[in-house]
């Protein structure tokens, strides 16, 4: 098992209690020298990954079916649409929105429980010298993605959400009241889940087990997040391209800001807000 400095992320030697680069104390090295075995990050990550796939796919799939079945109870006089449709837009939007909202909140609660003792460390913050870099990355990223949203078919949110945001029409009634708040909360919860599992936790595993260069780490965590998006929301080429670009950007900023998710969380909240404004 490789142990890195928690400040500069240099790989430490077996007896290097204080990092020779930055002077940071390493409790993991001290525990190792005292014969105490630190719990493997791999086992923790597999637990989180199992929860993510269980909630995101199994539970979410069950909820979609349940909400679809109960659609008639909520809207008894609603026509289903053309008979050749695979699933009417009204039922799709209603079932997917509430299933996504419930499963995202459930998984978020599980992750907060798992990281309850070090959630502030996972989120992190900025050093004074990083604020200008954060502003530069934030402005550049928001301008880039705003251009892609406005001028290209590329998408960064599930198609069933984008459809109702662009042209709400009668569909918005199926997730009212406070329809946009529900969509916004679901997307923010999902963003936090993805940042913890496919940024923070996955990089911890890679740091523990490998000495891969950062370019390779960026590609691995970006592809991992994009693959999870594809499994969660299905094959939609504009969204696959958009999410891959977003994942690469967020993977770069995650490593740049000392493997903390604070910048990524703030950026994703601003980006989701921008999507609502532009669409």
pLDDT, residue 37, reads 63
User: What would the two tokens of residue 56 be?
Assistant: 């995101």
CA distances (Å), origin 135, targets 123, 156, 158, 255: 18, 21, 27, 16
Q: Are 261 and 195 in contact (CB under 8 A)?
A: yes
Q: How far apart are CA 132 and CA 31, in angstroms?
A: 37
What is the tens place of the pLDDT at every residue in 40-81?
666 677 777 777 777 767 788 888 888 887 777 777 766 655
Of the pLDDT bands very low, low, confident and very high (cuts 50, 70, 90), residue 233 is confident
How far, in Å, CA of 256 to CA of 197, rounded?
A: 18
- Predicted TM-score (pTM) of the model is 0.84
Cβ atoms of 143 and 272 closer than 8 Å: no
User: What is the per-residue pLDDT for 138?
Assistant: 95
More confident residue, 236 or 9: 236
Task: Say if CB 11 and CB 210 are below 8 A apart.
Answer: no
276: tokens are 């609502």
Class of residue 20 by CB neighbours under 10 A (exposed 0-12, middle 13-18, buried 19+): exposed
Length of the chain in terms of residues written: 279
Please state, as a whole number, how many other Cβ atoms lie within 10 Å of the Cβ of residue 232.
18
The segment with the largest mean pLDDT, out of 25-34, 134-143, 166-175, is: 134-143
CA nearest to 233, candidates 113, 90, 118, 64: 64
Confidence of residue 143 (pLDDT cuts 50, 70, 90): very high
Structure-model confidence comparison of residues 232 and 272, the more confident one: 272
């Amino acid at each position: 098992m490789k142990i890195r400095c928690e400040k500069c992320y240099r790989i430490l030697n077996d007896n290097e209690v204080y990092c020779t680069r930055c002077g940071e104390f390493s409790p993991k090295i001290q525990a190792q020298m005292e014969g105490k075995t630190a719990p493997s990050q791999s086992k923790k990550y597999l637990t989180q990954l199992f929860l993510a796939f269980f909630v995101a796919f199994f539970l979410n799939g069950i909820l979609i079916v349940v909400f679809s079945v109960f659609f008639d109870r909520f809207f008894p006089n609603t026509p289903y649409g053309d008979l050749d449709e695979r699933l009417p837009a009204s039922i799709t939007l209603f079932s997917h929105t509430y299933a996504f909202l419930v499963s995202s909140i459930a998984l978020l609660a599980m992750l907060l429980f798992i990281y309850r003792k070090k959630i502030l460390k996972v989120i992190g913050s900025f050093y004074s010298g990083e604020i200008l870099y954060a502003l530069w990355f934030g402005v550049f990223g928001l301008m880039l993605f705003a251009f892609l949203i406005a001028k290209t078919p590329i998408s960064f949110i599930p198609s069933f959400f984008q459809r109702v945001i662009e042209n709400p029409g009668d569909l918005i009634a199926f997730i009212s009241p406070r329809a946009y708040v529900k969509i916004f909360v679901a997307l923010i919860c999902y963003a936090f889940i993805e940042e913890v599992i496919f940024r923070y936790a996955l990089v911890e595993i890679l740091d523990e087990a490998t000495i891969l260069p950062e370019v390779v780490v960026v590609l691995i965590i970006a592809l991992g997040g994009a693959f999870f998006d594809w499994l969660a929301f299905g094959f939609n080429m504009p969204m696959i391209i958009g999410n891959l670009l977003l994942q690469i950007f967020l993977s770069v900023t995650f490593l740049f800001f000392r493997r903390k998710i604070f910048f990524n969380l703030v950026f994703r909240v601003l980006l989701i807000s921008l999507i609502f404004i532009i669409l």
